[in-house]
Amino acid sequence: MMRFTERLRRAADPIWKRSHAHPFLTELREGTLDVKRFAYYLKQDYVYLIDYAKLFALGAVKARDLETMTVFSELCHSTLCGEMELHRGYAERFGVPREELEATRPSPTTVAYAKYMLNAAGQGSLKDLVAVLLPCMWSYREIGAAMAAVPGASEHPLFGEWIRMYGGDEFGALADWCIGLMDRLAEGLPERELASLEERFLDSSRYEYLFWDAAYRMEEWPV
């Protein structure tokens, strides 16, 4: 029988393909992305990750067993002290002080995506929370691995560090754990509930696409 996450991956394929083909990612892979766009992305991603870390904290609260609770608290810690350290390192290279990074005004897309996730997770149970966060972990792992396989991409003087983080084994193992958890939580659920989780997963996948697009456009509030 097909695993639930296989069904999710298939359903999201047209959206994920659009992300892989987005100029933000093709130019990042080729090393030609405008540094201004990359810096904009990192600042937006930094404030997005603050809410994302809260999502993991909420996962620890909603977990029903100690193992799940422990991994969610590790995910929260690794976001705040591992992933966001990458962003702080880049900010330092760009001469952006830490306070300025943290005070970044979230773009309309950043607000919409982060609040969508927190709202869905806050109102639902652990399976809803995992369905909304899964595209974030899984698509970055897929994007990172694809980029790391491009000869020379991981050694790029600017983008290499980003590619090594998301294409690396540590990030990959955490993404795998989230995939396994989704499958376990979906076991035995009626089709109506599976379809609702799939919709959550697809909406987050759409927001992932929008996030790349907003970064490429360097989206700002119109007024």
Ligand X SMILES: Cc1ncc(CN)c(N)n1
Active site residues: 208
The least CB distance from residue 6 to ligand X, in Å, is 21
Q: What is the CA radius of gyration of the chain?
A: 17
Nearer to ligand X among residue 126 and residue 137 (C-beta): 137
Q: Residue 28 is encoded by which pair of tokens?
A: 């990042």
- 151 alpha-carbon distance from chain centroid: 24
Amino acid at 66: L
The least CB distance from residue 25 to ligand X, in Å, is 12
Q: Residue 148 is encoded by which pair of tokens?
A: 């790391």
Q: CA-based angle 65:68:73, to the nearest 5?
A: 120
Residues at the interface with ligand X (CB under 6 A): 45, 48-49, 83, 136, 140, 208, 211
Nearer to ligand X among residue 211 and residue 216 (C-beta): 211
Nearer to ligand X among residue 57 and residue 188 (C-beta): 57
- 214 alpha-carbon distance from chain centroid: 15
- List CB contacts of 203: < 8 A, sequence separation 6 or more: 116, 132
Nearer to ligand X among residue 21 and residue 66 (C-beta): 21
- List CB contacts of 73: < 8 A, sequence separation 6 or more: 56, 57, 60
The least CB distance from residue 91 to ligand X, in Å, is 14
Residue nearest to ligand X (CB): 136
